[in-house]
Amino acid sequence: MDAQTRPVRPRYLKYALRVFACLALITGLYFMAALAGSLIGVNANWREPGTGVQIFVETNGVHTALVLPKRAAGHDWSAMVSASHLRDPSLTGDYLSFSWGHRQFYLETQSWDDIKAPTLANVILGSDETLVHVYHLTHVQEGRYSRALTITEQQYQQLAELIEDKFLFNADGGQPTPIPGYGDDDIFYEATGRYTIINTCNTWTGDMLEAIGVRVGAWTPLAGGVMRWFPQKTDNEP
């Protein structure tokens, strides 16, 4: 076969392979950094108090949230996160699950089957449009996906204030506007803060706990980086 008939690899393929290799390298470095950041503990001297308020850190394997009693330490969420915001107000309970994240990802990916390439691209690029997601829970049980820890009443009050600060209140100073959730027992609210691959939903969880003095990883962009600090105490769940 002479030079004129020899097949030539398209130039674009060479560039595509280079781009793919770079993306793979960046992804690998990101996960390595996430692991390292989550292994470095902050608030090393923190210990659970003997008495106080029990909260929970929960996960679905990818996403984390903080579960708080609706009423504790003199704080009552009932007015701000009202049961009347739900499609079915009768589903409200004694606990509320709070998480924060990317608006488009939240609203367009009710399940992992709903993930689309443009949505993932927007997540990677980051956004100033964020939401607080709240589930109303009638019962919380410690297990594989939900870890209990006790904090002081002062820490609970501080945590409640930090979470409230993530809500975007109406311009007139009124209550935050609810946005329909996935089902009858959850609701979204417009939030403050910019979402990036550095400042993720899981980073938010870790930062909230770090701010009130709980021992957790220094940087926790992945769910596992949060949950590793709260080992399962019981076998109530499979």
At 3-47, the pLDDT tens digits run 555 555 577 777 777 767 777 777 788 889 898 999 999 999 999
The per-residue pLDDT for 238 is 47
The per-residue pLDDT for 2 is 52
Q: Which stretches of the chain score pLDDT less than 70?
A: 1-9, 19, 112, 172-173, 234-238
Cα 174 to chain centroid distance, Å, stands at: 26
The per-residue pLDDT for 14 is 72
- DSSP conformational letter for 145: T
Location of structure tokens 């939030």: 191
Domain boundaries, the chain: 50-227
The per-residue pLDDT for 5 is 54
pTM score: 0.88
Distance CA 99, CA 197 (A): 16
CB 162 within 8 A of CB 129: no
